Structure 1
Amino acid sequence: MVLSGCSGSSDTPIASFRHVDDVSDAADISADASISVVSNIHSGIVVWDLIANKRKYVWGHQGDGINLVTNIHIAFDNSYVVTSDRETFTLWNLTDGEPEGFWRIDEASIRDVAVANFASGILVGRSNGKVMFFEPKTGRRIEFLGHQEKVNSVDLSPNGFYALTGGNDYLAYLWDTRTGQVLHKFSHSSRVTKVALDDQGRYAFTADSKRDAKIWDLVTGKEVSNLQYLARQRIFTTAAFSADGKYLLTGSPAKRVNLWAVESGKELNEWHVSPRANSQPPTAVVYSVAFADQHEIVTESSSGLIEKWKIDTE
């Protein structure tokens, strides 16, 4: 993938398909852009086959009734999905569509979740600052107590060995789920609102509520780049690294999707997803982004649409 530098913005996708009739409350796209899982308060949790463009499964997080799922994460190998509302989380098998576990958290509300390949581990970030790593097949559980305030975002390496967590204490930690040992501490000047790991184990992305959105080298723990933008503040709702490690794709709570160069932090492309119906002002939260191939990306947003966009190349 060779990009020609920042080539302006686009509001026109090359393809669009409605995944829920009204607004969606959460969504995740698999790393290979073949599967999407979307949550809606009335429709439940719908799994989409993006290659065939058809529904695969429809799930009820707590059986029938109102669906309050606000967190979804698909394992890197597309084997499992974890979903959560504020009090419970569920593990789903993507091969047969069946649930394999349902757990309740009474101590504090769930803020974010992640699942490793083969469901070897589930990561749960909570409002009391604690992060739980849980192995559903062995029952092993470890609690990470490094954060002093609310945890906002978590991510897990595909093998389940490494966790990245960020919170209101202005810190993000990379830590080993086998020992609880901190490997790197990433400091910010305000609360950390979004974290993401490169699935190939090269980089971490951590963004705060004010000025900084940084890419870090996971081997050295050193800063690689700080995303370059003119706005006084940027909030990020999702992030994904390209398979070759050269690019970072991000989404925002205000329609914006951006492509960045990892080494420099320079903005290369911008797109605006379709707004929610009847929203004033017209806007949408970008829940998930993924690279479809070297020339296209896909997005899921609160508009209930999955949209495909062209990457400008030369």
Structure 2
Amino acid sequence: MSLLKSFHRLSILLVSICCATACTGPDLDPEKQWIHADKGAFAADISPDGQLSVVSGANNGINVWEAKAGEPLYHWSHQGEAANLVNAVHISADKKAVVTSDREAFALWNLQTGEPVGFWRIDESTIRGIAVANGGKGILVGRSNGQAMYFEPETGRRLEFFGHQEKINSVDISPNGKYALTGSNDYVAYLWSTDNGQIIHTFNHPSRVTLVALDDEGRYVFTADSQQKSQIWNAQTGAPVSNLQYIARQKIFTDAVFSKDGEYLLTGSPTRSVDLWRVATGEPVQEWKVTPKEGASPPSAVVYAVGFTGPAHILSESSSGLAELWDVDHE
């Protein structure tokens, strides 16, 4: 009888541990893997069609990679021969422009020619997030003083947005450059017009907003905070659509991308996780764990970028310096 009781207690304990840590079973292996930064990466982005990656490496500057290619398409240096400190990159939706930034300056690149377009330094405060519209028409910069700047390189037009009260953590911009999305430590995300700086929608959170993402098709907005509210909203009305469903007390996201058909949201996290969610319900569909950086103890990697490469595969870029291709099972 005591043996049965002990076994029962052990079973309860194991179930409790599994629930507390949101057990998901064994890790899935990537279908393919490429080394994009052999000493690890500082930042990365993946184009909306999953065919291009831009990776800021710890020892090899900034490289542009075509899907499945063995050599980079372009190699860039953000500030000449100085050590690479680029910690944010963004590819325009039309794959014609890339913006890169460190804490003090940002650069615009022509993705069709590989040539630099311009370089600008920020004096007021440090850069916390950056995004670029189609063709490099407009650049959105979020800063540590709570201000966001929309800048048009060709015309020199500059618009300052003063809606936030504390430092901005994440930004995104619509492909046409007309709409900006910013999230801040003041518990709020704003969707606002780059024509006049007017707020279109306000998205409130119970804690600091750590990530924002716009659907390139203009259907949805995603905002996530430092606790448990990870919300998908209707971009047209500002109404909530769904809240991501997970057991963990806290889940931080580092990237988020909507599928072209609008049915799925793909996210990356600082804890190696890549997750697929149903937009309509917020329910999880599938999870993957990227390969940790070699020699890291405990095994760890930050997922910097995720992207859909087609209906059956997704791509990830992480701090381990690896691009990894994963099979998707929607069932």
Q: Secondary structure at the match of 2:201?
A: strand
Cα distance in 2 for residues equivalent to 1:88 and 1:18: 27
Query: After superposition, what is the alpha-carbon deviation per residue over 1:237-290, rounded to whole angstroms, capped at 9, x for unaligned?
Result: 000000000000000001001000001000000000000111111010000000
Contact preservation (8 Å) 1:110, 1:125: yes
Q: Structure 1 residue 10: deviation in Å?
A: 3.5
- In the alignment, structure 1 segments of 5+ residues that lack a partner are 1-6
Contact preservation (8 Å) 2:100, 2:106: yes
Q: Structure 1 residue 9: deviation in Å?
A: 6.1
More helix by share: 2
Asked if 1:111 is matched to 2:95, the reply is no
Q: Quick check: which has more Rg, 1 or 2?
A: 2
Cα distance in 2 for residues equivalent to 1:265 and 1:86: 34
Asked if 1:186 is matched to 2:186, the reply is no
Alignment-derived partner of residue 268 in structure 1:
285
Cα distance in 2 for residues equivalent to 1:232 and 1:41: 32
TM superposition score normalised by structure 2: 0.92
Alignment-derived partner of residue 125 in structure 1:
142
Q: Structure 1 residue 65: deviation in Å?
A: 2.5
- In the alignment, structure 2 segments of 5+ residues that lack a partner are 1-23
Contact preservation (8 Å) 1:227, 1:260: yes
Are the structure 2 counterparts of residues 9 and 80 from structure 1 closer, same or farther at C-alpha, using a change threshold of 3 Å?
Answer: farther
Q: Structure 1 residue 223: deviation in Å?
A: 0.4
Q: Structure 1 residue 53: deviation in Å?
A: 4.3
Alignment-derived partner of residue 85 in structure 2:
68
Q: Secondary structure at the match of 1:292?
A: strand
Contact preservation (8 Å) 1:11, 1:274: no
Q: Secondary structure at the match of 2:245?
A: coil
Cα distance in 1 for residues equivalent to 2:217 and 2:71: 29
TM superposition score normalised by structure 1: 0.96
Cα distance in 1 for residues equivalent to 2:182 and 2:39: 32
Q: Structure 1 residue 96: deviation in Å?
A: 1.0
Cα distance in 2 for residues equivalent to 1:313 and 1:45: 34
Cα distance in 1 for residues equivalent to 2:27 and 2:275: 11
Asked if 1:82 is matched to 2:103, the reply is no
Contact preservation (8 Å) 1:9, 1:272: no
Cα distance in 2 for residues equivalent to 1:284 and 1:92: 28
Asked if 1:22 is matched to 2:31, the reply is no
Indicate which of 49, 52, 59 corresponds to 2:76: 59
Provide the alpha-carbon RMSD of the alignment.
1.3
Q: Secondary structure at the match of 1:118?
A: helix
Contact preservation (8 Å) 1:125, 1:153: yes
Indicate which of 245, 248, 251 corresponds to 2:262: 245
Stretches of 4+ aligned residues off by more than 2 angstroms? 7-11, 51-54
Q: Structure 1 residue 8: deviation in Å?
A: 5.9
Q: Provide the identity percentage.
A: 59
Q: Secondary structure at the match of 2:276?
A: strand
Cα distance in 1 for residues equivalent to 2:56 and 2:278: 31
Query: After superposition, what is the alpha-carbon deviation per residue over 1:144-166, rounded to whole angstroms, capped at 9, x for unaligned?
Result: 00000000000000000000000
Asked if 1:197 is matched to 2:209, the reply is no
Contact preservation (8 Å) 1:8, 1:270: no
Higher relative contact order (CA 8 A, sep 6+): 1
Note the 1:1-314 alignment, pairs <5 A: 10-314=27-331
Q: Structure 1 residue 40: deviation in Å?
A: 1.5
Q: Secondary structure at the match of 2:41?
A: coil
Q: Secondary structure at the match of 2:310?
A: coil
